[in-house]
Amino acid sequence: MQNSQASATPRRVLVVDDSRAIQAIIRRILETGEADELQVQCASSGAEALAQVDSFRPDLVLSDWHMPGVSGIEMLQTLRQMGHADIALGFVTTETASDCLTQARRNGAAFVLNKPFQDHELRAAVSQCLRPAMATPTADSSSPRVAALDSASQLQQLLFTHLGTRSFVLSKRHCEGVFVEQTPQMVVLYSSAGRKGAYALGLLDASASCLIGGMAAGNSPDEIRMMISKAQPGPGHFEHVQRFMLAVAGLLHKRSPADVPAFSAAKMAVQPFDKVAALIANNNGRSDFELGLSGLGEGRMSFFIL
């Protein structure tokens, strides 16, 4: 990744992990990739990382969750309290507890990547975080982005129809990077008459799939909580969620009066799709939502016009 001819200032990544071996692995992956040049620095604790922030001025922090002294989530909270809202932070950790993942999202974490991970997974997550700053402006880059779904209230009504209850909260989120990044996740492609290739993309994390599928199937709260803890929707849930996502096609934004968005394909992916990050980076509109059911937890949904 070293390129003396590069005209752009190298993006800076701070790797924070109490394991020197993990630091070395992450540094190697980042420095041997084919993306733009990166400047990588390491810290062995949250406190050490915070001490380096003002001098190194990282664009992205990759942090473990469990570290002696200042933990990863405490470091993220401190960064925001220090006014560093512009520094993205992604977790690279063995932590998989749903309450910790919710805490990470609420504090603005860019992503959570679980160990052990594949080289391409880390590179894709880092590239997605840094791409907005590295992208070259295009002729129409000043054009306002549209929402992928024309009506959040109609999505809410659609959920009520499929879940048979109004005891849920649907919150709209404003995101620039990947919102649904955890696997397993449901990946849905939409087509449109007269257009080649995919027209739109829908992503649901495992929690959202369990909530929608479990409620639609009439499962008990304990059964749904068990499925969420395992990040694994139960038998038959895929069909319930697929029917919901099929209905979402009617709410997708039409780029032209001739567009007729339609459900094309769906897959429950246990590993990240290599092409998803590229599709998201070049989207023509997006909408992100958080679905919460009292006492059951929260799930995330993202939709993109391609």
- 144 found inside a domain: no
Domain co-membership, 129 together with 173: no
- pLDDT for the residue 2: 44
Domain co-membership, 98 together with 209: no
Domain co-membership, 167 together with 244: yes
Beta carbons of 71 and 43 less than 8 angstroms apart: no
Domain co-membership, 171 together with 280: yes
Last residue of a domain, one of 68, 100, 134: 134
Crossing angle between the packed helical segments 119-134 and 20-31, to the nearest 10 degrees:
60
Domain co-membership, 203 together with 70: no
- pLDDT for the residue 55: 92
Domain co-membership, 56 together with 174: no
- pLDDT for the residue 52: 93
Using one digit for the tens of pLDDT, what is the confidence trace for 131-147? Answer: 654 333 333 444 445 78
Domain co-membership, 162 together with 71: no
Structure-token pair, residue 48: 């050490």
What is the three-class DSSP state of 126?
Answer: helix
- pLDDT for the residue 284: 84
Last residue of a domain, one of 104, 134, 164: 134
What's the CA gap between 72 and 75, in Å, rounded?
A: 5
- 3 found inside a domain: no
Residues 8, 11, 14: CA angle, nearest 5 degrees: 165
Domain count, the chain: 2
End-to-end CA distance of the chain: 30
Q: For residues 262, 187, 228 and 127, what is the CA-based torsion angle, rounded to 10 degrees?
A: -140
Last residue of a domain, one of 83, 108, 134: 134
Sign for the CA dihedral angle at 176, 177, 179, 180 comes to positive
- 143 found inside a domain: no
Domain co-membership, 243 together with 127: no
Average pLDDT over residues 251-258: 87
- 110 found inside a domain: yes
Buried (b) or exposed (e) across 155-188, using 16+ Cβ within 10 A? bbebbeebbeeeebebeeeeeebbbbbbbbbbbb
Average pLDDT over residues 287-299: 84
Domain co-membership, 187 together with 293: yes
What's the CA gap between 156 and 170, in Å, rounded?
A: 7
Crossing angle between the packed helical segments 274-281 and 119-134, to the nearest 10 degrees:
10
Please report, for the domain that includes residue 121, its CATH number: 3.40.50.2300
Candidate ranges 19-28, 34-43, 80-89, 273-282; pick with highest mean pLDDT? 19-28
User: Sheet harboring 185-192: ordered strands across?
Assistant: 168-173, 285-293, 297-305, 200-205, 185-192, 261-269
Instruction: Report the DSSP beta bridge partners of residue 92.
Output: 113
pLDDT band at 15 (very low <50, low <70, confident <90, very high): very high
- 29 found inside a domain: yes
Domain co-membership, 175 together with 276: yes
pLDDT band at 47 (very low <50, low <70, confident <90, very high): very high
Q: CA of 273: how far to CAs of 160, 210, 276, in Å? A: 30, 20, 5
pLDDT band at 1 (very low <50, low <70, confident <90, very high): very low
- 4 found inside a domain: no
Q: Which domain holds residue 93?
A: 11-134
Domain co-membership, 130 together with 157: no
Candidate ranges 52-61, 114-123, 257-266; pick with highest mean pLDDT? 52-61
Q: Is the pLDDT of residue 175 over 70?
A: no
Q: Is the pTM of this model over 0.85?
A: no
Using one digit for the tens of pLDDT, what is the confidence trace for 180-204? Answer: 666 678 889 999 987 888 899 898 8
Structure-token pair, residue 129: 């975080």
Average pLDDT over residues 90-114: 83
- 126 found inside a domain: yes
Burial (CB count within 10 angstroms: exposed 0-12, middle 13-18, buried 19+), residue 2: exposed
- pLDDT for the residue 145: 58
Domain co-membership, 288 together with 165: yes
What are the start-end ranges of the E strands in 174-275?
Answer: 185-192, 200-205, 261-269
Please report, for the domain that includes residue 213, its CATH number: 3.40.1550.10
- 34 found inside a domain: yes
Burial (CB count within 10 angstroms: exposed 0-12, middle 13-18, buried 19+), residue 48: middle
